[in-house]
Amino acid sequence: MRAPVRIGLQIPSFNVPGISPADLFPRLVSIAETAERSGFDSLFVMDHLHQIPGVGPPTNWMLEGNTVLGALAARTSRVSLGLMVGGVTYRNPALHAKITTTLDVVSAGRAIHAVGAAWFEDEHRAYGFDFPPLKTRFELLEEALVIARQMFTQDEARFAGSHFRVEGALNNPRPLRGDIPILVGGSGERKTLRLVAQYADACNVFGDAERARHLMGVLDGHCEDIGRDPGEITRTRLGTLCVAETHDEAERLLASWPDRANLDPERLRMVSTLGTPDEVAEQVGGLLAAGLDGFVFNMPNPWDLDAVALAGETLVRATA
């Protein structure tokens, strides 16, 4: 089941200038509705409990991701919905699969089950979650992927691993499509992309066109090793979009990134798609030529509905 992601919008921040908590969800609805109308086919929120470095201070607002997605499912009709991406350490994987299945039912079949190995140690410590070494987190992720697929496709899920077990877990009602696309986030060449090849329907990586081309080659190699058709996997990339009517205005948008001081400027440039609509279309064309199928973009100004509309319309033309 390929993941239906060609043009995705990620909302990474819930702090809106001049907006009170009581007004926050209506503004999120407006963003989602604008994104859907302008051509975005998928909508994502982060799976974090505190705001992350590079987006804002930890005291900034942070809503629980699955709850937000369920609420937005009732206010949209076409966009697919998912976390970008769910941390494997935050939930029992069978429960997470049940939550995603509930989202699938609520949204009439629009859920994406997106997961990763988790990385933000500070929020683990604050909330009392264990934060095991990376090797162990990848073991958790692999077991979670096996359990999720069973939960989505089998009458009962049964699995006994080194970290997780399920003993006849029921998941009724089942996903409306008979399954739910699974996306694994991360650019790790040895482990992450191997797990994509073995278990997932989509990847989500980081980097510029050169880096993306390299990573897609690595993924192809893993698919060859296990005998999987690489065409079964939707290949997406997470980046930042700054599009405006003039190049200078787009540069100013990038300079306005909320927590730019805590980001490596070169890394920010590497993941940024920036310029006028024509310039953005050219850059997107280069990324498509590198082997990507789709994109998930965040923006410095997602609260500006005109900016969201321009972004969607530009990306629709660029990926046509």
Distance CA 175, CA 106 (A): 10
Q: Which is nearest to 138 in space by CA: 163, 117, 165, 161?
A: 117
- Look up residue 87 and give its DSSP letter: E
Residue 1 inside a domain? The answer is: no
Which tokens go with 248?
């200078």
Domain that holds residue 311: 7-319
Query: What is the domain count for the chain?
Result: 1
**What's the distance, CA 284 to chain centroid?**
18
CATH number of the domain residue 222 falls in = 3.20.20.30
**pTM reported for the whole predicted model:** 0.95
State how far the Cα of 16 lies from the Cα of 158, in Å rounded to an integer: 44
Q: What stretches of the chain adopt beta strand conformation (E)?
A: 7-11, 42-45, 80-83, 86-87, 113-116, 157-160, 165-169, 182-185, 202-205, 234-243, 272-275, 294-298
Q: Is residue 2 part of a domain?
A: no
What amino acid occupies position 301? N
Q: How far apart are CA 135 and CA 24, in angstroms?
A: 38
Q: Is residue 191 part of a domain?
A: yes
- pLDDT in tens for each of the 320 residues of the chain? 789 999 999 999 999 888 999 999 999 999 999 999 999 999 999 999 999 988 989 999 999 999 999 999 999 999 999 999 999 999 999 999 999 999 999 999 999 999 999 999 999 999 999 999 999 999 999 999 999 999 999 999 999 999 999 999 999 999 999 999 999 999 999 999 999 999 999 999 999 999 999 999 999 999 999 999 999 999 999 999 999 999 999 999 988 877 766 677 777 778 899 999 999 999 999 999 999 999 999 999 899 999 999 999 999 999 99
Instruction: Answer whether 251's CB lies under 8 Å from 274's CB.
Output: yes
